Amino acid sequence: MFWYDGALHEEPIAPFDLTDRGLNLADGIFDTSLAQNGRIFLLEPHLDRFALAAEALAIPFSREAAADALGRLAAAIGQGAVRLTLTRGGGARGLPLPKEPKPFLFGAAAPAPAPFPVLALAVTSIRRNESSPAARLKTLAYLDAILALREASAKGAGEALFLNGLGHVASLSSANLFAVFGRRIVTPPLADGVLPGTVRALVLKRAPGLGFGAAEQSFDLAELSRADAIFATSSLKLIAPCGSLERHAFASAENEVVHTLQAALRDAIEAECGTT
């Protein structure tokens, strides 16, 4: 199911401007959210993040149109994944920004992915580029993530772990990463080149009330290897335990902190979207 020009469409083939800068130069942003019972989970945080990214790239953006797209796609799909994409629209060739941009907003909904198994991680040789603003914005420039996942798959892993240029642990190819040390959880700060994930933010916010310490703090692979558990967060993976990192096994799926956070997240989803 697709949304563009203010309406839902069944088919993906649409009239499209081949000079679109999103297509030609990855000049745009996107957002992926979870639909449950026809509603978007964390709707306002998703719209907030989308608006901030559009502002950072100076792409004009209508929150009303984006909310309309998300609402209609969620209602149409019921349960599933909803993606919203905003490009700077068509323009003359070359990199300079068009003086009068005509942004293109579109959305897509797809059935919910199968529940994620316990993830096996492999470290990718591609570094997350913390010097680029794009490392902290969900932009269309996702090729590094594709290549990293391809590299991980070739090693038999299900997800790729990015370090950044400083050797700090950054994120997975399409998820944030947390390490559990006793009753304390730690995740890399945005400055290390990670996306401000909506589930990441929720976990950081809820952890203290559940009796867990929570911090945004840089760490390297050696420190990560001493964690009691590792888990990934994303809008679709939610809280997914990671069972291994290269040859090192982690009892993440049996970790009490991970279980408690997963239960709290399920509660938050049901509170906002109702039970399934």
**Residue ranges that bind its own copies, judged by CB under 8 A:** 2, 4, 12-20, 22-27, 30, 32, 57, 81, 83, 85, 87, 90, 92-97, 106, 108, 110, 113, 125-127, 129, 131-134, 139-147, 149-150, 153, 165, 173-174
- Closer residue to its own copies (CB): 121 or 261: 121
Q: How far is the CB of 20 from its own copies (least distance, A)?
A: 7
Which C-beta is closer to its own copies: that of 108 or that of 194? 108
Measured from the CB atom, is 19 or 225 closer to its own copies?
19
Q: How big is the CA angle at 195 (ends 127 and 162), to the nearest 5 degrees? A: 25
Contact 46, 40 (CB under 8 A): yes
Between 196 and 264, CB nearer to its own copies: 196
What is the CA angle 206-273-38, rounded to 5? Answer: 145
User: At its nearest, how many Å lie between its own copies and the CB of residue 150?
Assistant: 7
For the CB of residue 214, give the shortest distance to its own copies in the complex, in Å: 28
Min CB(139)–its own copies separation in Å = 5
Burial of 134 (0-12, 13-18, 19+ CB in 10 A): buried
Instruction: Decide whether 113 or 182 has the Cβ nearer to its own copies.
Output: 113
- Closest approach, Cβ 19 to its own copies, in A, equals 5
CA separation for the pair 45, 51 (Å, rounded): 10
- Rounded to the nearest 5 degrees, what angle is found at the Cα of 111, between the Cα atoms of 117 and 108? 120
Q: Which of 107, 106, 6, 21 is nearest to 58 (CA)?
A: 21
Closer of 7 and 14 to its own copies (Cβ): 14
Burial 19-56 (b: 16+ CB within 10 A, else e): ebbbbebebbbbbbbbbbbbbbbbbebbbebbbebbee
Report in angstroms how near the CB of residue 113 gets to its own copies at its nearest.
7
